[in-house]
Amino acid sequence: MDKHERLKVAVQKSGRLTENSLDLLARCGLKYTRGKDQLLCYGENMPLDVLLVRDDDIPDLVQEDVCDLGIVGLNVVEEKRLGFLARGRAPLFEQLQTLDYGRCRLSIAVPEKMPYSGPASLAGKRIATTYPNILSKWLADRGVRAEVVVLSGAVEIAPRLGRADLICDLVSTGGTLQANSLREVEKVFESQAVLIRTPVPLPPEKEDWMRRMLVRIDGVQQVKESKYIMLHAPRSALPEIRRLLPGSESPTVIPLDGLGDKVAVHAVCRENVFWETLESLKGAGASAVLVLPVEKMLA
């Protein structure tokens, strides 16, 4: 296949999204070689290559059709999108799917001693952030006039250095805020990893691979939490057992030879199965309960 007919996917080179993103592609069946410091991973068993770049460059690479697909945080996509709109241009990359990792929130945090009683408390303050577009829109939507101080990193130490009064930064566990004596007061934007694609129509064969990848990504996402449960139970316990199985569609019920009223129940549960659920199942009369991981699923 000609070089231009290979799909190109932009993925963060080294950061919080790298491992999950490469793992997702591997679960979709992609085998690739990754050389040290190499920018391009060549797909060995599919016409698909992975370009490893800084996350901030991913929307542009997809927008400019250098890459066909990109995996990046929704926070980065939204910041770019608002930047485009502010310059009177429409962002062309298309957001296809949210992915189940990279969850975080863009939040406003104030020094512990600073009083806060709602957005009006921010009036006239200096707010340090690496997300000026998202923050400015949030402030404008609430009619708050504050000074947005754009930094490229280490936002959390800006108040201590006197560069700002408070910050607006990404938070996941809250550990960084706590370590810097900052208090989270507003969630400005919720984020997770997303898949974006080029606006340009692709040649049929490439478009076909793109479609197949999207179906596989969907399948991978669905099985992540899914479990296959097998158990034995008296027929009379079936309604209760159905109720207890988390996120399962109609289970398969199989009669058991020579065990009278007992049946075997097999079900795919689309949510994680916890010990508590197993204990409740046992309480409802189930025995010989087995929980198996689901490797692949094609609806």
- Where do contacts with ligand PRT occur on this chain (CB under 6 A)? 12, 15-17, 54-56, 73, 75-76, 102, 104, 169-176, 191
CB 232 within 8 A of CB 286: yes
On the 0-12 / 13-18 / 19+ scale of CB atoms within 10 A, 38 is exposed
As a dihedral over the C-alpha atoms of residue 240, residue 245, residue 248, residue 249, rounded to 10 degrees, the angle is -10
Residue 173 binds which of Zn ion, ligand PRT, none (CB < 5-8 A, kind-dependent): ligand PRT
Question: Please, which residue, 30 or 76, has the CB nearer to ligand PRT?
Answer: 76
The per-residue DSSP string of 198-260 comes to: -SSPPPHHHHHHHHHHHHHHHHHHHHHS-EEEEEEEEGGGHHHHHHHSTTB-SPEEEE-TTST
Residue 293 binds which of Zn ion, ligand PRT, none (CB < 5-8 A, kind-dependent): none
User: Rounded distance, CA 282 to CA 207, Å?
Assistant: 49
DSSP H or E run through 184: strand 182-191
Question: Please, which residue, 54 or 142, has the CB nearer to ligand PRT?
Answer: 54
CB of 167 to ligand PRT, least distance (A): 10
Pick one of 49, 55, 156, 169: the residue that binds Zn ion (CB under 5 A).
55
Closest CA to 191 of 78, 94, 109: 78
Question: Please, which residue, 129 or 248, has the CB nearer to ligand PRT?
Answer: 129
Q: What is the distance of C-alpha 93 from the center of its chain?
A: 18
Residue 118 binds which of ligand PRT, Zn ion, none (CB < 5-8 A, kind-dependent): none
CB 211 within 8 A of CB 201: no
According to CB under 5 A, which residues from 105 to 164 bind Zn ion?
none
Question: Please, which residue, 14 or 287, has the CB nearer to ligand PRT?
Answer: 14
Residue 187 binds which of Zn ion, ligand PRT, none (CB < 5-8 A, kind-dependent): none
Q: Contact region for Zn ion (CB under 5 A) — 33-41, 56-64, 233-241, 264-272?
A: 56-64
CB of 15 to ligand PRT, least distance (A): 2
User: Rounded distance, CA 32 to CA 132, Å?
Assistant: 37
CA atoms within 13 A on the CB side of 83: 12
Residue 174 binds which of ligand PRT, Zn ion, none (CB < 5-8 A, kind-dependent): ligand PRT
Q: Looking at beta carbons, which residue is closest to ligand PRT?
A: 73
Q: Contact region for Zn ion (CB under 5 A) — 52-60, 109-117, 128-136, 255-263?
A: 52-60
Pick one of 56, 218, 225, 240: the residue that binds Zn ion (CB under 5 A).
56
- Which residues contribute to the site for Zn ion (CB under 5 A)? 55-56
